Amino acid sequence: MLAVLAGGVGAARFLTGVVRVVDPSEVVAVVNTGDDMTLHGLRISPDIDTVVYTLAGLHNPATGWGIATESWTAMAELERLGGETWFRLGDRDLATHLYRTQRLAEGATLHEVTAEIARARGVGVHILPMSDDPVRTRLVLAEDAEGVVAGTEVAFQHYFVGLRHAVAVRSVRFDGAPAASPAPGVLDALGDAEVVVVSPSNPVVSIGPILAVPGVRKALAARREQVVAVSPIVAGAALKGPADRLLAELGHESSVVGVARLAAEWAGTLVIDEQDAHLKSAVEAEGIRAVVAQTVMSSPQVAALLATVVLDAAR
């Protein structure tokens, strides 16, 4: 069995490679829910949905999130009513949030609802939220931005979508994490897996919340030799999103060496891209083994090759 810690788009792409080389029923994905929010009264879990849509082959490759063959009638009507339309929910995507909201209101847990949605979408990978309890990523801005003054704390999607993550951040915290429990199955998966992979997801706001759930960091550290992280930073930059900026703003180095410094406590191996091959010894000086591979997943075939490298690295 293979356990994969997952954020959104980068993790979803990696998982499409994993399922080409490992039977999906042998894979457990532990997904970040720090991005979750309630909007229009609906419970939205963007990273879970990105992973499910991608593994189901429904995803929009242009954005990485949402469904490819989407219509936007509800958003257009909402706009006419003067409702909130800054966070775009397509008509097909809305069905997912309606279903999740209803089931949670009936008393189902997030891991139960997630399993139901994955099953209905024909996804064979076991997809687990990191926790059934609410954990919400919140960021304190370091500068004024669009009516929000420096020093204000905002919710993740306000920063990410509302402010297009084009604003400097002073600090990040995961509200609710200290009191949260890992979802049933999470610690078992991390303890039993032959290999635990930390996807090339944003180390601060995608992997950070998962590690903040009590017991998760310790579970990884206890199996450090079987834990392989894939760097989301290539040649000093993030392939998608604000990982490079966030690392620098929070005092880390935006490079594979900076990622190695963060991961060395709980991962025995860091997979770095060929473009960073010259930094292999600098990475290893941080106390983590470095494996050089093609990590830019330009196609499912490349993602499958990367998955093979990652599995071999731990074995």
Residue nearest to ligand FO1 (CB): 8
The window from 11-19, 71-79, 87-95, 208-216 that contacts ligand FO1 (CB under 6 A) reads 87-95
Is residue 157 involved in binding ligand FO1 (CB under 6 A)? yes
Instruction: Tell me how far apart the alpha carbons of residues 31 and 48 are, in angstroms, rounded to a whole number.
Output: 6
Instruction: Tell me how far apart the alpha carbons of residues 172 and 162 are, in angstroms, rounded to a whole number.
Output: 17
Q: Which positions ≥6 away from 79 have C-beta within 8 Å? A: 85
> Interface residues for ligand FO1 in 36-75 (CB under 6 A)?
46-47, 49-50, 65-66
**Residue nearer to ligand FO1 on the CB measure, 47 or 276:** 47
Question: Which residue in the set 2, 4, 5, 8 belongs to the binding site for ligand FO1 (CB under 6 A)?
Answer: 8
Instruction: Tell me how far apart the alpha carbons of residues 218 and 266 are, in angstroms, rounded to a whole number.
Output: 8
Nearest approach in angstroms of CB 156 to ligand FO1 is 7
Nearest approach in angstroms of CB 192 to ligand FO1 is 27
| Alpha helices per DSSP H over the chain | 9-21, 46-55, 73-81, 91-105, 110-120, 156-157, 186-192, 208-212, 216-222, 243-249, 256-263, 280-284, 300-314
Instruction: Tell me how far apart the alpha carbons of residues 180 and 24 are, in angstroms, rounded to a whole number.
Output: 28
**Residue nearer to ligand FO1 on the CB measure, 113 or 288:** 113
The window from 82-90, 143-151, 213-221, 272-280 that contacts ligand FO1 (CB under 6 A) reads 82-90
Tell me how many degrees the CA angle 59-6-192 measures, rounded to the nearest 5: 130
**Residue nearer to ligand FO1 on the CB measure, 84 or 312:** 84
Chain residues binding ligand FO1 by CB under 6 A are: 7-8, 35, 46-47, 49-50, 65-66, 87-89, 93, 157, 160-161
